[in-house]
Structure 1
């Protein structure tokens, strides 16, 4: 008879095996440096992203605040400059202002005189034009003043039959001329050619007629509704 043998592990080998298994379970191998680095890289960089976002927002707010401050400073300085200019202009005389803006081609006895040419102008329109420029329809105060105004008319509008309104009036009944403030004119009055003054009480407004040949320049009297070529304006501190 043959004896039958079974390949069963010996108790000692099983114990060793089990012991090895238990030992492996109790003491796993430590992770390598490569695996640790990979895990750290796999984590999302939350803290870094938050820091960058916060820094960017802070810089944007700082730029906006700086721009707002500069804009306010500019507005304050500009307002002060305008106010200073207005205060300075308010302290100077009307004639000085007229000289600054080119409204004083003729200066006589403290007043500036200029002509505003505009076709088909009645007296009231002429008065509004002078007022919009800081003046009034002009008076002519002397023979010398009359000569300087004639030269101005010739320089600014060469032609024949051009008339400009003045602020003076004429009383056909008494034959006397008056300034705008109703005081009487006393200098040697020069009328335009023959036929003037017109003996008609309604023709009481005086204008200065400019002729191509200046020896004919002089005053004419007409109604305020007459259409003329412009107005002679006066800017003075006594206005």
Structure 2
């Protein structure tokens, strides 16, 4: 009986030893805490966690700053290109206009109120002596106008009637008259060949000082006609040609 107990006890002790021998050993350095349990030194400390958090925050801040700088650079580039493109287009339009002939320039600028014979005509409404009328047209690259035919005269008179509502208005033109020879001339000195319609009877006035021509028009087309005036007379406007 004692022998069996001893054997059983011995077997139990051997089993305990075997069981302990198969228990896995913790890896790394092991130390015992206050509760007697084993603790590994591989567990991150509070200082390590704080360092990693700071690094992550710095990375995010740097990324945001870089994105902002990139966006600002792209925006400035786009704005610069738009400015350059606008300047380029404006310059191109100006170059195209300058390459046109003067008549086309007048049409583009809205000065071509009447078109006749490939030329443009428009009125400048102001009280002028003839020399001032010349300067006013010249400021637009134009000249006081010629009237090239009877049909042209009727077109101009109808246009002038729509620009004013008063009676007895006169505008300077570029043509002249020589009372001694009873001849009329275009601005370039070429003689006028068509039959001109004069304002009422008594015109043209036979006076050598009244050598500059103008158009007088009224609400009633019966009173439309050419008149000859002294150059320092103050009329109601000038008809320009380009």
Same fold by TM-score greater than 0.5: yes
SS at match of 1:194: coil
1:62 paired residue among 56, 59, 70: 70
C-alpha deviation, 1:86, in angstroms: 2.5
Q: How many residues align?
A: 207
Higher relative contact order (CA 8 A, sep 6+): 1
Residue 199, structure 1, aligned to residue 206, structure 2: yes
* Structure 2 gap segments, 5+ residues each: 1-30
Q: Residues 198 and 204 of structure 2 are in contact (CA less than 8 Å); yes or no, is this contact kept in structure 1?
A: yes
In structure 1, the partner of 2:102 is 94
C-alpha deviation, 1:45, in angstroms: 4.9
* Structure 1 gap segments, 5+ residues each: 1-26
SS at match of 1:182: coil
In structure 1, the partner of 2:159 is 152
SS at match of 1:192: coil
Distance in 2 (CA, whole Å) between partners of 1:218 and 1:228 is 15
Distance in 2 (CA, whole Å) between partners of 1:110 and 1:61 is 59
- Point out the more displaced range, 87-96 or 56-65: 87-96
SS at match of 1:73: helix
Change (3 A) 1:91 1:43: closer
* TM-score (norm: length of structure 1): 0.73
SS at match of 1:159: coil
Distance in 1 (CA, whole Å) between partners of 2:87 and 2:108 is 22
1:214 paired residue among 221, 228, 231: 221
Q: Residues 98 and 105 of structure 2 are in contact (CA less than 8 Å); yes or no, is this contact kept in structure 1?
A: no
- Superposition RMSD on alpha carbons, in Å? 2.8
Q: Deviations over 1:48-107 (max 9, x none)?
A: 343233223212221121012112221232233223322332343332333334333322
